[in-house]
Chain A
Amino acid sequence: MLQVGNLSFNYGKTCVLKDINLNVKKGEIISVLGPNGVGKTTLLKCLLGMIKPCSGFIEMDEMDILKMSSTHRARLIGYVPQAFPSKFPMTVFDAVLMGRKPYVRFVPSENDLEVVSQVLMSMNLNHLGLKDFDRISGGQKQKVLIARAIAQEPNYLVLDEPSSNLDVRHQLEVMDMLRKLAQKENIGIIMAMHSLNLASRFSDRIAMLKSGCMVCNGTPLEVMTPKIIETVYKIEANIHRINGYPYTIPLNPMPENRTNKELLN
């Protein structure tokens, strides 16, 4: 289990995260929702040990992530970043091969190549294998980054807006794949999301952030209520239940002058 306890984080003097508590079990998908700039990416970076929280703890399978070696950590937790800058051309295969770094001593082995080609296969990416990473579409890049994280064979997967560049069909496809991956390989997945409906449809639990605090954390049905969505996103919304999933239909932005207190009452 990935456990976050009383986590707070400041960038300089500005407090970005306050007292966050969160658990991710293996085989479970958790979505972190919240408006732009609320601290979703920051939370994920803390989980990855890229930045050090100013208080609180993060434990992975009962081990403090800050006390692990970076290689050990990279074997346990995979990361799909929001963007992937690349200055020099490389093939898609080489990009996915990077995911094998925690297992590579000097040069990638036969087994590493095998794992990479299997992952490419399972994600229907093998036709792109030898193409330049810079010359595939944004959505394809996102799938390649997910493939790279899967090639890491981690116990937990952290994804930062994995669906933002995908068309409707590929969104469903990738989410479905993540869902199956979580169940089949028993991987705990935590992802920052902007699409409320994808999150409701594919997550086991949803955590809502608002100005650095966790507003609520529960199943999609518990969390996706007009009231909570109003508080967090300051919009008026309808919720419809289809096939047992709550779907949000945003209607109007709320006028700015209403205070939070009014809303919560």
Chain B
Amino acid sequence: MNTDCLTIKNQDMKNQYKALKYRSLVLLAAFFLIASVIAVIALCVGASSISVTDSILALIEDNGMARSIVWNLRLPRVIMALLIGIGLGTSGAVFQAVLRNPLASPFTLGIGSSAGFGAVIAIVFFNGLVNEYAVVIWAFIFTLLSSFLILGVSRYKGATAETMILTGIALMFLFSSLSSFLQYLGTKEEVHGIVFWFFGSLSKAGYREIVMSGIMILAPMPFVFRFAFDFNLMTAGDESAGALGVNVSGVRMLSIALASLMTSGAICFTGVIGFIGLVAPHIARMIFGSDNLFLIPASALIGGVLVLSADTLGRTVWLPHVIPIGIVTSFIGVPFFLYLLIKKTKEYW
């Protein structure tokens, strides 16, 4: 064979691959644009009848009442929704990659139920209905506790995906039943508050909350990206990843710790907004494939879009009521997800 012809074909293969990745990059940009557009829409709609032009004007100049509503009510809510979506989407993608399991999500590992149990403790014993920060702090303590338990068992038993998932599921049952037990002891108002917390709500999102959960969600990001290529190798099995020089159990433990931190940043302030952590990575995978270099940012963006859309719908479709975000995400997310699942042309797991 002619060598010239060989090099041309060779170039071809590489360029085709690069074209594929370039397409992913363009799609990422498109999703970024979509997220921005939805964010602007979310700023313009709401319970108070401020016109769209007034809402946009409010962002740049002082037009009284409108300005205060947009800056103090809607903007923090929009930012918080995006943050939460980013946190849940990213941590879901990380859990699925390092646990090599398409069913993994922040909630499979019991992080949701342990946060819930923390919130229940705060509400029943520490006057959490009045003192919101008690709820946040206790929820946070318990997410840390559950991830330490998982990491501890993994250190002792070997950090395999199976060990972690089984420990997580056991913790999930433990904390759920503990929560139920405390609810049984609680007063009517307390039970109401607990149920409300489990639905999730963005109504109390303020700038202080944004800063705190922003740190928890965004600070681990660079580290997670740093491991993206290692995650690709780990989906092909621990042994072969190890043989290629990946410190498998180290990467897995650190990633679980980071993703747990992101999850708790996303749920401690607002309650359990389930499902997004499971669905966002799968939607991202259907569009972007399984290369974690793209899958992780895509899951973040898609998570952000989903939470923001759900919250915006929740506070506008049934005025003057606000539908809790956890309910909207499930109402809209589940049928949408099933639709994608049935429509998908390729096997994804």
Q: Chain A: residues with CB nearer than 8 A to chain B?
A: 45, 48, 50, 69-75, 77, 79, 81, 84-91, 93-95, 98-99, 101-102, 104, 106-108, 113-114, 116-118, 120-121, 126, 129-130, 132, 134-135, 152
Contacts and interface: CB of A to CB of B under 8 A. Distances in A.
B349 interface: yes
A102 B9 contact: no
Contacts of A120: 13
Interface string B60-84: 0000000000000000000000000
B346 A89 contact: yes
B291 A94 contact: yes
A132 B346 contact: yes
B321 interface: no
A93 B346 contact: no
A101 B10 contact: no
A118 B348 CA distance: 28
A52 to B, nearest CB: 13
A87 B13 contact: no
B233 A98 contact: yes
Contacts of A126: 9-10, 12-13
Contacts of B349: 87-88
A98 B236 contact: yes
Interface stretch (B125-133, B134-142, B242-250, B259-267): B242-250
Contacts of B101: 87
A89 B230 CA distance: 16
Contact of B9 (A72, A95, A98, A121): A121
A89 B347 contact: yes
Given A90-B236, A93-B17, 4 more contacts: A48-B243, A81-B240, A88-B102, A99-B244
A84 B244 CA distance: 14
B98 to A, nearest CB: 12
B87 to A, nearest CB: 22
A86 B238 CA distance: 11
A98 B290 CA distance: 13
Contacts of A89: 289-290, 346-348
A102 B244 contact: yes
Interface residues of B, number: 42
B171 to A, nearest CB: 23
B293 interface: yes
A101 B242 contact: no
Contacts of B20: 91, 130
A152 B293 CA distance: 20
B285 interface: yes
Contacts of B348: 88-89
B235 interface: yes
Given A91-B289, A113-B17, A117-B13, A101 B245 contact: yes
Contact of B243 (A74, A86, A106): A74
Contacts of A134: 347
Contact of B14 (A48, A77, A95, A117): A117
Contact of A88 (B229, B245, B290): B290
Contacts of B293: 107
Interface string B219-247: 00000001011101101110110111111
A129 B13 contact: yes
A82 B17 CA distance: 27
Contacts of A90: 232, 235-236, 289-291
A126 B12 CA distance: 9
B155 interface: no
19 contacts: A48-B243, A50-B239, A70-B245, A70-B246, A74-B244, A84-B240, A85-B236, A85-B237, A87-B102, A91-B17, A94-B232, A98-B233, A101-B233, A107-B228, A117-B10, A118-B10, A130-B16, A130-B17, A132-B346
